[in-house]
Structure 1
Amino acid sequence: MTAFTGPPEWSGTSSDSNDEQLGHLVEATTLPSAGEYDAVLVGEPYDGAVIGRTGAADGPEAIRESLAGVKSHHFDAGPVSRTADLGDVTLPAAGDVAAVQDAVADTAAAVHETDALPVFLGGDNSLTAANVRPLLDTGSVGVVNFDAHLDCRAVPEGGPTSGTPYRQLFDAGLDGYAPVGVRHFETSTAYHDYLRERGSEVVTAEEVGADAVAAADRALDGLGDVDHVYVSVDIDVLDVTAAPGASAPTPGGLTTRELYRTLRLVASDDRVAGFEVVETAPPLDADDGRTVDAAARAVAHFLAGWSA
């Protein structure tokens, strides 16, 4: 069943008529009208599968609030494309993680079928499996995942978690996978070997820091000639100093500048068919809201790179 809560009304935080912000530009819309826009936001307020600390269910609302105050212009790419907001996905009142994934996948499929680019605001990483799954029925698919972790754990008896989405997607027919910004000592050898056996291109945080352009090229080249590219940002790809309000923050991560540059380069690929930012947990954030602000600006930078 495809259902959304009512889309929020957006407004800027500045009263200066020359101070154009995304809050002045993003419009509320409905699914039948989504195709009139270049991109549509979809909130996914769920953290029932998170392995680390909970709080990501509050991510969509907080990211929207921060994004509303972001100025509209990028120096290289120009203004952000015409964007609207569908509201939040209606989640099942009861059910395990697999049932939630199935329900969200139905809604994600309807959004993918519009002419607008879906931009999913998470929520935990388990819903990546739901967001990408509909694309598998439309051609070959590769994912570029900005993340500290590989998220290809075997699905336990209790069902999927925020650490299993890419194992689930490989089992469902995913054609390519390139995790970017991953950390040393944040995975086990078994998961590293699992991805290597499937030809995945693993790009570490150190390699992004050394050359963002080369890192983006390696990730995209590693997907081969897939028809569609889906881009995911787990906010824990950032160093803990930049994103303390992540479900699983650790040191050694990317700076915001490194993430934004690499993300814009990946977003400019003509095959991009969807984007998400996940694992932003506002209740765990610093007093200055730095994690939420970083996640909101990741959305803005992605949209700038995609529309350039």
Structure 2
Amino acid sequence: MNLREPPAWVGPSGDPNDEQFGDVVEPTAIDDAGEFDAVLVGEPYDGAVIGRRGAREGPAALREELAGVKTHHFESGPVGSVGDCGDIEIPDGDVGAVQETVRESTREIHAGDALPVFLGGDNSLTYPNAAPLLSESLGVINFDAHLDCREVRDGPTSGTPYRQLHESGLDAYACVGARHFETSTTYAEYVREQNGEIVTSEAVGSGSVTAAERALDAMAEVDAVYVSVDLDVLDATAAPGVSAPTPGGLTTRELFRTLRAVAADARVAGFEVVECAPPLDTDGRTAAAGARAIAHFLSGYTGDSS
């Protein structure tokens, strides 16, 4: 597996009482990842984006923003131990070949004891990020404005990962934050045919805890749960720096609350934040939301209870 050396982490605050992620995240090798509750893995790639590109710069921006986020949550206290394994070296080539290369790396990462937290990168890498978990009964909770279950025609794209996972044996799927008028009828029907759950952004707005319960109910029969956050699930005012920003999305508060509820499930086996595109951002708004999504998820994560 080829991983670039992880960056040094530094908390930017001059107050010694301000413990920030930059003070606690430790660079580590994959062989030592088991010493941590969770490990960050960057995926600087946007070669499969259907819309606007820029997500290859996402991992660096998410790290920079996360370094200045304080580690304390009022209900759960500080986060657990977090390592950084660096970025996967992603080769040039067609998207299918890239997915296979990335899958070789993620297979090894999942084999460790730490929770993998993938920093995207575009949504096409959801497939190789989650696919190694298909060896057991797997469900995916996808926080996304779109269902991303397009047919694979001339090759995979950022719109095909859940079609690919279903065709590889995915057992359960729930999309949280789906927007009206952003998905074709054919794809909505496809998800229904797979017995998937669609929780609209309006439903999340009516009650984030209930939305999380609906998503987790859809995972009732699986042994492992993979959680994906495509930052376009947020309203365009909160996340302008994504490939396809649109109105009508979640607020950051709704996303964070729902994420914490999902993260507390003991079956969680992987997490990702994708489609952060800094060149398309405004005042670092999207990277700030993505970094705090990571912080909230880690603060809610309880680990394997078995």
User: Does the TM-score normalized on the shorter chain lie above 0.5?
Assistant: yes
Q: d(CA) in 2 for partners of 1:75 and 1:52?
A: 38
Corresponding residue of 2:224: 228
Q: d(CA) in 2 for partners of 1:201 and 1:223?
A: 9
1:277 aligns with 2:276: no
Identity of aligned residues (%): 66
| CA distances 1:17-45 after superposition (whole Å, capped 9, x unpaired) | 11110100000000110111110000000
1:132 aligns with 2:125: no
- Correspondent of 1:142 among 98, 123, 139: 139
- Correspondent of 2:203 among 191, 207, 216: 207
Residue pair 1:77, 1:307 contacting (<8 A) in 2 also: no
Q: d(CA) in 2 for partners of 1:18 and 1:250?
A: 39
- What amino acid sits opposite 2:88 in the alignment? V
TM (norm. structure 2) is 0.98
Where structure 2 has 5 or more consecutive residues not aligned to the other structure, the ranges are none
Corresponding residue of 2:156: 160
SS at match of 1:202: strand
Q: d(CA) in 1 for partners of 2:288 and 2:215?
A: 26
Q: d(CA) in 2 for partners of 1:307 and 1:241?
A: 31
Corresponding residue of 2:64: 65
- What amino acid sits opposite 1:245 in the alignment? G
Where structure 1 has 5 or more consecutive residues not aligned to the other structure, the ranges are none
Cα offset for 1:307? 3.5
Residue pair 1:180, 1:203 contacting (<8 A) in 2 also: yes
Corresponding residue of 2:262: 266
Aligned residue runs from structure 1 range 15-26, under 5 A: 15-26=14-25
Q: d(CA) in 1 for partners of 2:302 and 2:7?
A: 24
Post-superposition, which runs of at least 4 consecutive aligned residues in structure 1 deviate over 4 A?
none
Corresponding residue of 2:106: 108
Q: d(CA) in 2 for partners of 1:241 and 1:250?
A: 9
Corresponding residue of 1:239: 235
**Pairwise CA RMSD:** 0.8
Q: d(CA) in 2 for partners of 1:144 and 1:10?
A: 30
SS at match of 1:121: strand
Corresponding residue of 2:28: 29
Cα offset for 1:133? 0.5
SS at match of 1:128: helix
TM (norm. structure 1) is 0.97
SS at match of 2:301: helix
